[in-house]
Structure 1
């Protein structure tokens, strides 16, 4: 059924993808955004085969693959031990499996350009503080005390700290500093690999190739694990002390450090782990991080959000009643979401925590086993987002 009035709360990739899918199905869509000028937040991310399947439906996969960097494997070391070795080629039954490293700005621009090209309504400068029912419809409330017109459905794509969700955010102790940098000439890391270095579970550095985006030069994302409670001390200590820590862990990063002259070149991202038991309410559904926020250890955030957006569009197309459609959308995603929330909860302390026992087990047992069958295939499926085989139920083709 089409012709419903739908408000999308949030103009990130999750909200933009939802707006495109629902507008193309014939619904009347309005996107609400708090910024005067919509903009991406953050540095790099990984598009997995799951997310790419949705981008194909949106007609944007070609652009994303052209602007991003094809990632064929993930590789991590602690001292001289290989503790992470995941290759997409382990998924031999699924040809052409790979990830795409891309700047958030490139993903945002592809979706935003499509939104503008299709003339979907966008209302900026609207900070959402809540919602209120109006008969069988729902209105958004804004910071200035005003409310929107009533909608048949509000889609909450506001992320982890959504004002439409009550209760604790589930904030995790660790986050990370991120910087988007040029790929230095002669930089001796493979351009098809997410590379990481660890000391215990408390210190992690990583390099994610990002491709060229819309520019002429290859780019990368550099990230450094940091506890939220240590961020102020990091700022006070100054860049020189931090750079010495990076050099000590991973000397190859010197040409990256040379590009960082100011603290504001590094963005500190906080992570959270929370799963709503009931993501659908009357005339309201929470999707993406608003429903299931998690650390980025398995690189699933944007991909899970894209799958949520697709599931919602599919459910609305095959259910005349909004309440039935929301129940259907949640049902389509609940198992996959539940499995990945559990897996992320399980693996996050292995790579970001104060534990000394977990990294010992990781370095001496998990790392070596990950290079052997069937552990290598299981890990590759986990990273690709394909555990629980989510695509067939969503009528998506991952090839």
Structure 2
């Protein structure tokens, strides 16, 4: 038995959704404050790693996620002339493992249904401040809410409550952003691969199959186009046709898939931040997800980290007698795992999104050979799958979860050739 708390969650993204469902199921009284006037997903698609899938398995949602998502077994990146820069597969790490491309709308629907109190979200309520005793929150209209036993700030990379933690070491925007949209998969030649194409580090195009979502049985691909954060307006002024011509030159197959994009407004704009905190909590305030550890999307771990944060908090509240001990337990468990991803994200991003042409040339020559070396390959695959823990450790996946994946191995429709590399060794 554990003590029941009255908990406020600020933000209804993945971290807030998963936390609301998990904590309410454990008997906590949960209230959610969401600034959007109506609830809905934000973003196009993402790659769910085994670590994130394990959380959905614990929540009893894995089968539904698999029904909508698209199994991804390979991540492949190349230059326009066909030179391979990156080629990574999950099988050398463990033949049971794979990624799952999903639409934001699909995951949003699953997590929303998992919380019985879904209808109790305070929509259109932007929280801008927390009281000195960290028990109450104030919205943009000046109204105070609370008191609460615990306030969870899950309000994203641009968190308004991060500063109240008192432990911010760095909080800076990335100089590069992206354009996103969903396009029909149709006859796409690589339905089980994340495919990327690079022009030095100045341009990156990504195509990730993300399956279907409730109410839309059409399989889709999440399309990604990187550009400087201050270049969105110039891109729009350049016109859609000029951009289409450029895309067709770089990657004709990708250009054929975006034929339904008829206006610049159909491509969503995304910006990113790098936030590093000494402490993720102060008194009764706790930061979670991107509010606690925003990073570049280069490693594609945002959704997975949010799900793992929520599961770790539930366990910490279950096994600590007092709230301060629970929050310390939560941060200790999660911070060491997150730190290695923030480190690699910070160092890898200039290799793929920057104006440093010499670094990009070095990447093209060295990145793939490093991934074939026994030590480097194992580390890269663990980082890819979310199972790297610290510099040398490995995050163990639950035997029950691996057993659930075991039955899927022989059912895969993949026709990819077997990866030639031997199994990863420690």
TM-score range, shorter chain: over 0.9
- Aligned-pair Cα RMSD in Å: 1.7
| Residue 378 (structure 2) pairs with residue 377 (structure 1) | yes
- Aligned twin of 1:140: 137
- Whether contact under 8 Å (1:87, 1:376) holds in the other structure is no
Residue deviations 1:225-260 (CA, integer Å, cap 9, x gap): 111111110111111111111111111123223111
* TM-score after normalising by structure 2: 0.88
Look up the match of 1:74. Answer: 75
TM-score, normalisation: structure 1: 0.94
* In structure 2, C-alpha distance between the alignment counterparts of 1:304 and 1:266, rounded to whole Å: 25
Query: Of the candidates 126, 147, 154, which is equivalent to residue 157 of structure 1?
Result: 154
Bigger shift: residues 364-373 or 327-336: 364-373
* Whole-Å separation in 2 of the counterparts to 1:86 and 1:203: 21
1:318-375 Cα offsets, whole Å, 9 max, x none, are: 1121111111100011111111110111111111111112111111111233245443
The answer for the alignment partner of 2:204 in structure 1 is 204
* Residue equivalent to 2:90: 88
Task: Find the counterpart in structure 1 of residue 113 from structure 2.
Answer: 113
Distance 2:19 2:394 in 1: 18
Contact 1:30 1:120 in 2 (8 A): no
1:378, CA displacement in angstroms?
A: 2.5
Residue 310 of structure 1 aligns with which residue? 311
Contact 2:207–2:254, Cα closer than 8 Å, also in 1: no
CA distance in 2, matches of 1:208, 1:235: 24
Shift in Å, 1:317: 0.8
| Cα offset, 1:121, TM superposition | 3.1
For 1:372 and 1:124, locate their aligned partners in 2 and report how far apart those are by CA, in whole Å.
Answer: 51
**Partners of 1:169 and 1:240 in 2: how far apart?**
37
Contact 1:10–1:157 under 8 Å retained in 2: yes
For residues 229 and 32 of structure 1, what CA distance do their matches in structure 2 show? 31
Task: Give deviations 1:28-87, integer Å, cap 9, x for gaps.
Answer: 111111122111111011110011111111111111111010000100001221001010
After superposition, what is the alpha-carbon deviation per residue over 1:258-306, rounded to whole angstroms, capped at 9, x for unaligned?
1110111100110111111111111011011001001111110010111
Structure 2 unaligned spans of 5+: 403-426
User: Structure 1 residue 120: deviation in Å?
Assistant: 6.9
Contact preservation (8 Å) 1:176, 1:225: yes
1:1-399 counterparts in 2 under 5 A? 1-78=2-79, 79-92=81-94, 95-115=95-115, 117-118=116-117, 121-134=120-133, 138-166=135-163, 169-184=171-186, 186-187=187-188, 189-214=189-214, 215-388=216-389, 391-392=395-396, 399=402
Q: Which moved more, 1:209-218 or 1:260-269?
A: 209-218
Query: Are the counterparts in 2 of residues 86 and 371 from structure 1 also a CA contact under 8 Å?
Result: no
State the SS of the aligned residue for 2:213: coil
Deviation per CA, 1:179-232: give whole Å up to 9, x if none. 111113x33x21110000001001000100011222222111111011111111
Alpha-carbon contact 1:182-1:218 (below 8 Å) kept: yes
5+ residue gaps in structure 1? none
* Contact kept? 2:382, 2:388, Cα under 8 Å: yes
Q: Distance in 2 between matches of 1:105 and 1:125?
A: 20
Matches of 1:391 and 1:309, distance apart in 2: 17
Residues 154, 284 of structure 1: 8 Å contact kept: yes
Whether the 8 Å contact between 1:391 and 1:397 is mirrored in structure 2 is: no
CA change 1:169–1:297 in 2 (3 A) is: same
The Cα offsets for residues 160-195 of structure 1, whole Å up to 9 and x where unpaired, read as 1111012774110111100111113x33x2111000
- Three-state SS of the structure 1 residue aligned to 2:217 is coil
What is the total number of aligned residue pairs between the two structures? Answer: 391
Please say which of residues 241-250 and 193-202 is displaced more in the overlay. 241-250
